[in-house]
């Protein structure tokens, strides 16, 4: 499969600070890549580098077959972007905002009108089209900015926190839109988000970055499996009746148990040591008079993988 994004050793320094450190990334065309990381991890710097807004200190990036260093204009012509801020012109109406960007991307007058209507209707902004964007709520501005990024049907979309400011229904609808774009128009989407559930739902490939360095890269399922061998994968929940504080303390004292705690809903939560198995714990509980109803291993979520990587 052809790559939409390929970086080799992409590095960017700001003075003594290394904001991005040797990024190696390959995103297949027609997929959604989720870029996760805390604030200041290097996500925005990466987008700026990929759009040719910043020059790398070293390394290279190729977008849709174009070298960003020598053909930044071609990259920007083929991409649509929603950056850190919605970037809508608040003194212009919603319709004029789209018209401006339609003109920038060389769309004809009829096409601009038709595409603007299609997108404004889709995002529920058609009735508000003659209002200045400055009168819009944060969520409406975000929707307008997403419409603007999609206006010229780009082959690659950079979306920095696209669901920030959207209500849950709009966020869910946008996720469906992104999946449809990839499925029907083979658009590649580079998405940054703090919403790990969102990343898990829509992304085929996920990268976790911290302090400018890629910590993990792979499909969400692969990352979870990988984490299954780590601390996040050694968690066990035991649903039982007759659990006392003494029994919990006895369980916590077992050599195969790293920690044991009782949740407010009464479920006993264990973190096992490497190689540890819950059978002996169950036997101890039964011998102590507890009625064990269910023992289950906790499948690590992308969130637990992420948190583990951030704590490492």
Partner 1 sequence: MRPGDVRTVMWKELRELGDALTGGSRAQLVVLAFVGVFFGVISPMRRGAAWFTDGSAVLSYAFIGMVLLMQPIADVFAGERERHTLETLLSTRLDDSSIVLGKLLGVLAPVCAATTLVYAVAIVATNIEFGHGQLLLPPFWSVATTLAAIVLIPGLMAAIGVNASMHANTVRKAAQMLSLFVMGLVFLPLIVTQVFPRAWVTRLVALLNGHSPAQVGLAVGAGLLALDIGIVLLALARFRRGRLALD
Binding site for partner 1 (CB under 8 A): 48, 51-55, 72-73, 76-77, 79, 81, 83-92, 96, 100-101, 103-106, 132, 145, 148, 158
Kindly tell me which of 41 and 227 has the beta carbon lying closer to partner 1: 41
Contact yes or no for 23/29 (Cβ under 8 A): no
Kindly tell me which of 141 and 234 has the beta carbon lying closer to partner 1: 141
Euclidean distance between the first and the last CA atom of the chain, given in angstroms as a whole number: 33
CB of 83 to partner 1, least distance (A): 5
Kindly tell me which of 33 and 101 has the beta carbon lying closer to partner 1: 101
CB of 80 to partner 1, least distance (A): 9
Kindly tell me which of 160 and 308 has the beta carbon lying closer to partner 1: 160
Kindly tell me which of 137 and 241 has the beta carbon lying closer to partner 1: 137
CB of 190 to partner 1, least distance (A): 12
Kindly tell me which of 85 and 273 has the beta carbon lying closer to partner 1: 85
Kindly tell me which of 77 and 310 has the beta carbon lying closer to partner 1: 77
CB of 29 to partner 1, least distance (A): 20
Which residues have C-beta within 8 Å of that of residue 32, sequence separation ≥ 6? 178, 179, 182, 188, 189, 191, 202, 203, 204, 205
Tokens representing 303 are: 């969130």
Contact yes or no for 144/122 (Cβ under 8 A): no
CB of 69 to partner 1, least distance (A): 12
CB hemisphere CA count around 153 (13 angstroms): 10
Kindly tell me which of 51 and 205 has the beta carbon lying closer to partner 1: 51
CB of 204 to partner 1, least distance (A): 24
CB of 42 to partner 1, least distance (A): 14
Q: How many CB atoms lie within 10 A of CB 242?
A: 12
CB of 202 to partner 1, least distance (A): 22
For 177, phi then psi, to 5°, come to -60, -45
Kindly tell me which of 103 and 296 has the beta carbon lying closer to partner 1: 103
CB of 134 to partner 1, least distance (A): 9
Which residues sit opposite 240 in a β-bridge?
292
């Amino acid at each position: 499969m052809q790559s939409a994004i390929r970086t080799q050793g992409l590095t960017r320094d700001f003075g003594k600070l290394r904001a991005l450190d040797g990024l190696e990334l390959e995103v297949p065309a027609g997929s959604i890549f989720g870029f996760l990381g805390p604030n200041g991890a290097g996500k925005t710097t990466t987008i700026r580098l990929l759009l040719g807004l910043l020059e790398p200190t070293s390394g290279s990036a190729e977008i849709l077959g174009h070298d960003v260093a020598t053909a930044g204009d071609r990259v920007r012509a083929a991409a649509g972007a929603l950056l850190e801020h919605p970037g809508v012109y608040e003194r212009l109406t919603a319709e004029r905002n789209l018209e401006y960007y339609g003109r920038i991307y060389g769309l004809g007058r009829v096409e601009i009108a038709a595409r603007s209507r299609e997108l404004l209707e889709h995002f529920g902004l058609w009735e508000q089209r003659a209002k200045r964007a400055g009168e819009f709520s944060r969520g409406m501005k975000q929707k307008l900015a997403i419409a603007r990024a999609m206006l010229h049907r780009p082959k690659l979309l950079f979306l920095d926190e696209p669901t920030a400011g959207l209500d849950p229904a709009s966020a869910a609808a946008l996720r469906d839109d992104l999946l449809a774009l990839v499925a029907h128009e083979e658009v590649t989407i580079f998405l940054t988000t703090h919403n790990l559930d969102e990343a898990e739902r829509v992304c085929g490939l996920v990268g976790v970055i911290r302090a400018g360095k890629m910590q993990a890269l792979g499909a969400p399922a692969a990352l979870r499996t990988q984490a299954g061998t780590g601390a996040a994968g050694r968690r066990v929940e035991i649903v039982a009746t007759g659990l006392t504080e003494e029994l919990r303390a006895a369980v916590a004292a077992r050599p195969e148990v790293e920690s044991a705690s009782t949740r407010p809903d009464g479920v006993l939560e264990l973190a096992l040591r490497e190689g540890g198995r819950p059978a002996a714990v169950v036997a101890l509980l039964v011998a102590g008079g507890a009625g064990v109803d269910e023992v289950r291993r906790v499948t690590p979520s992308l969130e637990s993988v992420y948190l583990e990587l951030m704590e490492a």
